[in-house]
Amino acid sequence: MIELAIQPLRLIDFIDIILSCVLVYFIYKMLKGTNALSILIAFFVLFIIWRIVSFFQMHILSEIIGQFISVGAIGIIIIFQPEIRRFFTMIGSKSMERGKRGKFLFWKITNKKENNLNTSVLVQAYQHLSQSKTGALIVLSKRNDLESIIHTGEVLDCEINSQLIETIFFKNTPLHDGALIIKGNTIKAARCILPVSTNYNIPASLGLRHRSGIGITEQTDAISIMVSEQTGNISIAKAGNLEENISPTRLQEFLNNEFNS
């Protein structure tokens, strides 16, 4: 007969429960809307079953499920690689922001935005590209400098200009295919190759341009803006999420909130 030994709850147990709930909430928030969430829930249910059969000393079943759990831990790391990368990128970025606003000995360190993004130039360019149904993909770098992506294309390093952006994406120019990378108010490179998203929730009607635009935001903190060649619709991707068919006014508001606030 199994005897249950009930121990009194300590203060540290309440803290442990609260912190565990907070951790689970942030994991859920990060994975919400992705296929990874259903996989994580299935793994969690399997873990609960394993703990139950272990408690009732069902040795054979416990051993079988335990093997799945041990192999599954490695599988979780492989399956959730983009989410884990984005999580640590977010943690590092927030830590750097706090560090830049803190103090070092007697000196106060501030994090001033020296060069706000010239959003009007981008909105004007996208308005013209949308009206002419010219396919375009621009990636706006934030804290991640995207150096590995920049070197896959043609390095330009020139100031942003609406006419230049429209010329680059004109279908007869050699630089129109691929992504344009912008850092601050500088066009860093054109014709860059981006990682393609493997998210199965992306509508089948969206092509490689949109999948690439979403893919780079899954792995970095960058923002990507696409123009559909078929419809002329403008779309924004951030953190793996896509907002379709937005107006120039909405684009201006979004860019100001992301880069100039």
Domain coordinates of the chain in residue numbers? Answer: 11-79, 119-259
Output the pLDDT for position 1. 46
pLDDT bracket for residue 109 (50, 70, 90): very low
The structure tokens 């200009």 sit at 161
- HEC secondary structure over the chain: CCCCCCCCCCHHHHHHHHHHHHHHHHHHHHHCCCHHHHHHHHHHHHHHHHHHHHHCCCHHHHHHHHHHHHHHHHHHHHHCHHHHHHHHHHHHHHHHHHHHCCEECCEECCCCCCCCCCHHHHHHHHHHHHHCCCCEEEEEECCCCCHHHHCCCEEEEEECCHHHHHHHCCCCCCCCCCEEEEECCEEEEEEECCCCCCCCCCCCCCCHHHHHHHHHHHHCCCEEEEECCCCCCEEEEECCEEEEEECHHHHHHHHHHHHCC
| Residue 163 near residue 201 (C-beta atoms within 8 A) | no
CATH code, 119-259: 3.40.1700.10
196-253: pLDDT as tens digits: 988 888 888 888 999 999 999 988 889 999 999 999 999 999 988 899 999 999 999 9
What are the φ and ψ backbone dihedral angles of 108, each rounded to 5 degrees? Answer: -90, 130
56-100: pLDDT as tens digits: 888 888 888 887 777 766 776 776 666 666 666 655 554 444 444
Average pLDDT, the chain: 80
16-56: pLDDT as tens digits: 889 888 887 877 766 665 556 667 777 788 888 888 888 88
164 has a pLDDT exceeding 70: yes
Say what angle helices 11-31 and 35-55 make with each other, to 10 degrees.
Answer: 150
| 213 vs 171 pLDDT, higher one | 213
165 has a pLDDT exceeding 80: yes
Count of other CB atoms within 10 angstroms of residue 62: 18
pTM: 0.61
Count of other CB atoms within 10 angstroms of residue 202: 15
